[in-house]
Chains A and B, each alone.
Chain A
Amino acid sequence: MKSSSTSTDTLCFHCGNDISGPIYTADDKQFCCAGCKGVYQVLSNNNLCNYYHYNQTPGQTKKEVEQHYEFLNEPKIFSQLVDYTDQNITLITFYIPAIHCSSCLWLLEHLHKLNGGVMQSRVDFLKKQVAITFNHQEISLKDLVELLASIGYEPLISLQDIVKEKKDTVNRDLVRKIAVAGFCMGNVMLFSFPEYLGLSSLEHQFQSLFGWLNLAFAIVITFYCCRDFFMSAWGSIKNKVINLDTPLALIVAVLFLRSAFEIITQTGPGFTDTLSGLAFLLLMGRWVKQRTYNHISFNRDYRSYFPVAVTVIKDGEEKPVPIADLNIGDRILIRNNEIIPADSILMKGEGYFDFSFVTGESQPVSKVLGEIIYAGGRQIGEALEMEIVKPVSQSYLTRLWNNEAFKGTDSKIKNFNDTIAQYFSAAVLFVAFAAAGSWWVLGDTTKAWDAFSAVLIVACPCVLALSTPLTLSTVLGLFDKNNFYLKNTDVVEQLARIDTLVFDKTGTITCPNVVNLTFTGRLSTKEEEVIASAARNSSHPLSREIVKWLSVKEVRPVFEYREIAGKGIVAIVDHQEVQLGSRSFISDDKDAADSSSSVHISINGTYKGFFKVKQQWRAELKGLIDALKPQFRMHLISGDTFSERKSLDAIFPPYVPMYFKQSPHDKLNYVKRLQSAGNKVMMLGDGLNDAGALRQSDLGVAVTDNINNFTPGSDAILKGEALAKLPYFIRHAKSAVRIIEYSFVIASVYNLIGVYFAVQGKLSPLTAAVLMPLSTITIIIFTNLTNRYFAKRNKLR
C-alpha cells in the first residue's frame, strides 16, 4: 500500500509518518509524537507487539484533541447505545473509522489482553465495526471507549448512526429468493431435459409427472420469488406510470398462466424452464443493483455532526445531557473543540468560534459576552458557559433540514430503463394484440391465444433488467477503485446527464490539509532556532507547520512554556521571551484585525513579522477547469470572503459567475434557480454548509480527503485527490449509458427473431428456452467487453 520511501527519511514505527520534529524513542524504535510512542508502549507492555508484525506501521497518528466521554455513564445514553445489557454483561457495537488493515483486526480482537473486563470482541472488517461483549462491573462503557481511544481506535459515537441501521433484512430476503429461484431453476431444467431431447416411449410415462413437478416449482417461483415484481408493477400502475417492472410482471404472469394451462390440460410441457431461468436472472440483476457500500454513509444530517451529549450546569453541578433533552434556558458548558448544539447566548468566557461547518468561512471569529452564537460553531480556546435560546430542532443550521429539499422524492432524473419500458410495453402489447387479432380473423382461436402469449414471452425485456445493473455496477466498481463512491447505480445515469457544475470553494477546490506558509519579515538563524524550539512544544497544526517550514538544526532548551488555546504560545528560550500567536495576542492591540490564518512573532517584545497561511488549491485544479470548460457551465459559490478572488480569476475562465459570502440557504436557492432554468446541476461541496445545496442539486457530490470523515448527505463522495479525474468520470458515465443503449439494440434483435416465431403461433418451449440464455450470455459478454474498452479509453483503471 505504502510506497517505500528513501532511506534518508525517518518514519515513525507506529504510524509511518515522516518524523519532522523531535524524535521520540522507545526500545530502539522511533516515533513521531508522544501519542504514537504511548500506544506502542501500551501494546508492548501487554505483549501485543504482534500488531506490528502483520503490517508495517499499522497505526494512525493520534489526534491531540481530548475528548470527554463522561456522558457515556448516563444511563439514558448508555441504554440507547448498547445492543444488549443485563446485570453483568453488556454487548455494544462500535463503528471505528480507523480500522483499515489486518493488524487493526488482530489488535481489536485481542482487547481482552488489555483489559480483563472485555470478554469478547469481534470485528466486521468491511463495515468497520467491532462488537464487544464486556462485563460492565469490571469496565464501564466510558473506560472501554477511553481504552479504545488510547490505542488509536476511537469509536465514532452518534445516536443517529445510519451505518448501524443497515437494511440487512431487505438484502437477506433477496438472497433467500435467489436461492429458491436457483433451486427451482435447477430442478425444472432437469425435468425439462427429456423434453428437449425428445421422449422415448419409455419416458412417456414420466411426462405428466415432470409436468406436475415443474408446475409446483413454477408456483413457488411466481408467488414467492417474483412477488416483488408484481408489487412494484401494481404500485406503478396505481401511480399511472409504467416502470420496467410492469412488463416484467406481465411476462411472468403470462408465462405462468400459459404453462399452468398446458400442463393441466396435458397439451404441452409449458414454459416453466424459461420462467424459472427468467426469475433467477431478474433476481440476480436486482441483487447486483443493490450492491452498496457497507462502510460509507450517504444519508447523514446534522445529528451526525453534533455531539451525543453536552454538559449542562445545574445548581453548580455538571451533568451530561443528551442533545434531544436540551431545553431553552439550560446553561451548557462548551469546552475546547466542542460544537455548540443549539443557538445560545454566550454567558461566560471568551468565545472564539470556527464556523466553517455552517458558513464555509475558514477563519474563526471571536464573540463577546451576550452575543447569540448559532449552532454548529466550534469553540477554539477556553471552556465557555452558554445559555440556550432555541431548541436544537429550531436552530439556524437545523432549520436547513426542514427545508423542502430534504423531503422531496429521491429519483430526480428518470432513468433509461423506465423511459424505455413505457415504449417497450406499448410496442409489445401492440404486436401481441395484432398477432392474436390476425389469427382470430383467420378463424384460428387456439393459434390466437398461442401467438398472444408467445409474443409476450419472447419479447421479454429481461436483458434490460440485467444489462443495466451489470453495466452500472461495473462502473460503480471502477469509480470505487478511483476514489469516487456513488450512492447507487442510478447515480451513474444522473452523472451522464449533468450539464452544469457548481463548486464550493473552501475544502472543495482547496486542500484543507495542506498548508502553504509564507513569512513576512526578517529572522536570523538564531531567531529561527528560538521560534522553532518554542513551537515544537505545541500540538497546534500551525505550530507544526512552522517547525517544518523553519527546519532548524539545533534545538534550544525551553523554559516556562505556556499555550493559550486559540491565542498563541509564550515561552522562554535562551533567556529570550518568545511569543507566537494572533495579532491581538502579541500586541495587546484589541482593534487589530485578527485572522487565524496568520501567526505573528515577537521576541523580547520586538515584533518580528508574521507567517501567513495561503490556501492551497488542489493539485491540477487548473487542468480540471480547463478540461471541463468546453462542455459544462460552471459556477462558483462560496461562504468565504472575496480575499481569494484574484487567484480564482487565474483559474476559472472570466465568464464563470462567482458568489462569495453565501449562507447555506443562499447556496440552496442558487442551485434551485439554476434548476428552474432547466439546468442539470451537479453540486460539489464539502461541509455541512453545502448540505442543502447538495441535496437540492440533481447530483450532490461531497468532496473529502478522508472518506471515513463525516460528509454531508449526498449522492456521491469524491476523494479530494480524485477531483482531477472528474471529467473522465463524467465521460465514462456517458459511455455506460451508451453501453446500455447498445445492449438494448442487441436484445431487440433477439426479440425480433423470437417474435417472428411467436406471431406464427409456433413458439416451441425449446426455442424460448434457447433464445433467453443466448441473449443473456451475449449481453453479459458485450457489456463486459465494452465496459473494459471504455474504461481504457476514458483513462480509468
Chain B
Amino acid sequence: MNILYFLIGCSILMALFFLAAFFWASKNGQHDDVHTPGVRMLFDDDKPEEEG
C-alpha cells in the first residue's frame, strides 16, 4: 500500500504542472483576446491570384 504515497505525490506534481502551464499561458497573453483567433482561423490562405 506504500505505493499510494508515491502516487499521491505524482498526482500533486501533475496538477502543479498543469497549474504552472496555465500561469505560463496567462502570462503570455493567451487569455487576453479569446475572440479574434477564432475568427482569424476561418480566413482562407492567400493565393497569388485572387479575383472577385
A residues with CB within 8 A of B: 27, 44, 47, 49-50, 52-54, 102, 105-106, 109-110, 122-127, 168, 172, 175-176, 179-180, 183, 186-187, 190, 202, 205-206, 209, 213
A172, B8: Cβ atoms closer than 8 Å: no
B4 to chain A, nearest CB (A): 7
A124, B51: Cβ atoms closer than 8 Å: no
A49, B52: Cβ atoms closer than 8 Å: yes
In the complex, which residues of chain A have a beta carbon less than 8 angstroms from the beta carbon of B11? 190
Number of residue pairs across A and B with beta carbons under 8 Å? Answer: 62
CA distance A123 to B32 in the complex (A): 12
In the complex, which residues of chain A have a beta carbon less than 8 angstroms from the beta carbon of B52? 27, 44, 49, 52-53
A126, B50: Cβ atoms closer than 8 Å: no
B15, A209: Cβ atoms closer than 8 Å: no
Q: Mark B6-19, 1 if CB is under 8 A from A, else 0.
A: 00100110011011
In the complex, which residues of chain B have a beta carbon less than 8 angstroms from the beta carbon of A202? 1
CA distance A53 to B16 in the complex (A): 46
A126 contact from B19, B23, B36, Cβ within 8 A: B36
In the complex, which residues of chain B have a beta carbon less than 8 angstroms from the beta carbon of A50? 43-44, 50
- Taking the complex as formed, is B42 at the interface, i.e. its CB lies under 8 A from any CB of chain A? yes
B23, A179: Cβ atoms closer than 8 Å: yes
B36 contact from A125, A172, A179, Cβ within 8 A: A125
A187-B15 contact, Cβ under 8 Å, with A49-B52, A105-B40, A124-B33:
yes
A179, B32: Cβ atoms closer than 8 Å: no
- Taking the complex as formed, is B39 at the interface, i.e. its CB lies under 8 A from any CB of chain A? yes
Given contacts A49-B51, A124-B33, A186-B15, 12 further A-B contacts (CB under 8 A): A53-B52, A102-B42, A123-B36, A125-B35, A125-B39, A126-B33, A179-B22, A180-B19, A187-B12, A190-B11, A205-B1, A206-B4
B36, A209: Cβ atoms closer than 8 Å: no
A105 contact from B19, B36, B49, Cβ within 8 A: B36
In the complex, which residues of chain A have a beta carbon less than 8 angstroms from the beta carbon of B15? 183, 186-187
| Top 8 closest pairs, chain A to chain B, by CB | A49-B52, A125-B36, A124-B33, A183-B19, A126-B35, A102-B39, A125-B35, A179-B22
In the complex, which residues of chain A have a beta carbon less than 8 angstroms from the beta carbon of B19? 179-180, 183
A175-B26 contact, Cβ under 8 Å, with A183-B15, A187-B15, A206-B4:
yes
A163 to chain B, nearest CB (A): 14
A220 to chain B, nearest CB (A): 11
* Nearest opposing residue in chain A for B43, CB measure: A106
CA distance A442 to B43 in the complex (A): 76
CA distance A125 to B15 in the complex (A): 33
In the complex, which residues of chain A have a beta carbon less than 8 angstroms from the beta carbon of B49? 47
B50, A125: Cβ atoms closer than 8 Å: no
CA distance A111 to B14 in the complex (A): 44
B25 to chain A, nearest CB (A): 10
CA distance A122 to B33 in the complex (A): 11
CA distance A47 to B16 in the complex (A): 50
In the complex, which residues of chain B have a beta carbon less than 8 angstroms from the beta carbon of A109? 40
In the complex, which residues of chain B have a beta carbon less than 8 angstroms from the beta carbon of A175? 26, 31
In the complex, which residues of chain A have a beta carbon less than 8 angstroms from the beta carbon of B8? 209, 213
CA distance A773 to B45 in the complex (A): 49
In the complex, which residues of chain A have a beta carbon less than 8 angstroms from the beta carbon of B22? 179
In the complex, which residues of chain B have a beta carbon less than 8 angstroms from the beta carbon of A183? 15-16, 18-19
